[in-house]
Homo-oligomer: A and B are copies of this chain.
Amino acid sequence: MRTCGIQIDYTKMMAACIGPEHGIRPAELRGIARRGRTAALSVAAAVRTGGLGFSKLPFAGAVADEVRRVADEIAGEVDTFVVLGIGGSALGAAALHAALAHPFHNLLPREKRNRRPRVFVLDNVDPEFVAGAIDLLDFKKTAVSVVTKSGGTAETLAQCLVFLKEMRRRLGTRLTRRRVVVTTDPERGALRAFALREGYRLFSVPPDVGGRFSVLSPVGLLPAAVSGIDIGALLDGARAAHDACLAPGLAYNPALLLAALQHISCVERGKTIAVMMPYSNALAGVADWFRQLWAESLGKRLDRAGAVVHAGQTPVRALGATDQHSQIQLYMEGPADKVITFLGVRGYRRTVRIPAAPPGDDALDYLGGATMDDLIGAEQRATALALAEAGRPSMTITLDRISPRALGALLYLFQMQTVFAAELRGINAFDQPGVEQGKRLTCAMMGRPGYGALRRGIARSDRRCASRCALSL
């Protein structure tokens, strides 16, 4: 088996290390192993029959080739690439960029970005944010990627209308056509119809791949390729993880192991909050992406049997060492309702040597001659140890190095972990019924035809809660 350079250490989850109240006993892991085995066989069967959509993405070499071709074309013609998308249509792209591009990519002059475009992900309809971005843009040298799996996402369509009007005005229809790429459903949706009429380049999100599982589809691959990231290596890492995640037993299947640990923690130890704490600014985007994957897949009212369960565990993103100065007091002494997953890096891609301190300064002395790599590594180990001493469980996932291959493996691992977690909990990972009401209410409030009854319902709600409770200052 090819290795992905990822190690999972769950010593500090276990009772032998942190005590029986909050730690997990080996018997508990053995107890869940049989259900885990069933889940693994069921998932493997789904994979074999093509029933697990995202599991096919690492093998879609032809798609990757086409993505690369279009990306290189775009990169040769523009200096800015703007992604208009939200949720699954944005978070994966942002995670890849944060992990694999220079931390200040957009601020570097062109020659220092390998002459690849700047990348902006506009994932909100805050007018100050969008207008601020437009202030920056030279539309003559800008390409736009419109990404909505359903083809109907209000925010993305609104942004799309704004940008296309601007581009047509400044570039004309023909040049605009060269500067727009659309990624959407291969058959349905308002955006697909629109793109076909206008002649924009089109990529598909396979129908059986949900938005939060789409990072290894063109949704994530295209922006990554535009900024120069090696998407071939990304998919190679995902393929390697795919193999590992099909192993039938907890002892060998890292995704199943992680799912089992979180499941026991949440259901048996009251750890309702799953903190993901990379000790790396570059991996902060992965924690944000994971937040949607974990929350939206597992936060379900009903289980598969139709029972009302209100399942789910709240994923929280933290950053080391930064959030030691923000959250660690709470993590150490507050309610014992958290499991922390540290993401560590064995070999950072840059080294910063700390110079010697001026003589006579003991407080500074010990830092001199060390590297920042040493310091941040020590802080991570110290934090995990302090938490363990306080009976607070954690696990650590360490990447040998942040690389496209390791990222592909990590993202795939987390997706499989989510699928297994849903299996263990007996829920459907792949729907999101809870988001519909907000969308319907938005359409009604915006005066969309066909929503009149709902508009009247809103007025009734307003009257019911009419005894307004408010205070001003």
Contact = CB atoms under 8 A, between A and B. Distances in A.
Contacts of A86: 321-322, 325
Interface stretch (A59-67, A128-136, A175-183, A222-230): A128-136
B468 A328 contact: no
Contacts of A3: 472-473
B329 A379 contact: no
B128 A349 contact: yes
Interface stretch (A39-47, A70-78, A104-112): A104-112
Contact of A375 (B158, B338, B435): B158
A372 B157 contact: no
Nearest to A26: B469
B357 A161 contact: yes
A38 interface: no
Interface string A113-135: 00000000001111111111111
Nearest to A302: B333
30 contacts: A11-B467, A16-B465, A86-B321, A103-B133, A106-B107, A108-B136, A124-B281, A124-B322, A124-B376, A126-B372, A128-B350, A131-B352, A158-B367, A162-B353, A162-B372, A194-B358, A295-B327, A299-B333, A311-B334, A312-B333, A314-B316, A328-B435, A332-B435, A332-B438, A333-B433, A365-B449, A366-B446, A378-B446, A382-B442, A388-B461
Given A352-B127, A361-B194, A389-B461, A299 B162 contact: no
Given A4-B473, A11-B469, A190-B361, 15 more contacts: A9-B469, A102-B135, A124-B322, A127-B350, A158-B370, A161-B354, A161-B368, A194-B361, A292-B327, A296-B330, A300-B333, A375-B446, A379-B438, A379-B442, A385-B458
A407 interface: no
A363 B157 contact: yes
A154 B365 CA distance: 11
Interface stretch (A50-58, A199-207, A213-221, A272-280): A272-280
A340 interface: no
A154 B325 CA distance: 11
A21 interface: no
Query: Top 4 nearest A-B pairs by Cβ distance?
Result: A87-B325, A299-B330, A312-B334, A299-B334
Contacts of A127: 348, 350-352, 371-373, 376
B383 A438 contact: yes
Contacts of A154: 367, 375, 379
A305 to B, nearest CB: 16
Contacts of A165: 355
Given A161-B368, A326-B87, A362-B449, A282 B472 contact: no
A264 interface: no
Contact of A112 (B135, B280, B351): B135
B386 A437 contact: yes
A35 interface: no
B471 A11 contact: no
A132 B325 contact: no
Contact of A386 (B300, B438, B464): B438
A39 to B, nearest CB: 17
A7 B333 contact: no
Contacts of A9: 468-470
A152 interface: yes
A91 interface: yes
A404 interface: no
Contacts of A322: 86-87, 90, 123-124
B126 A448 contact: no
A87 B325 CA distance: 5
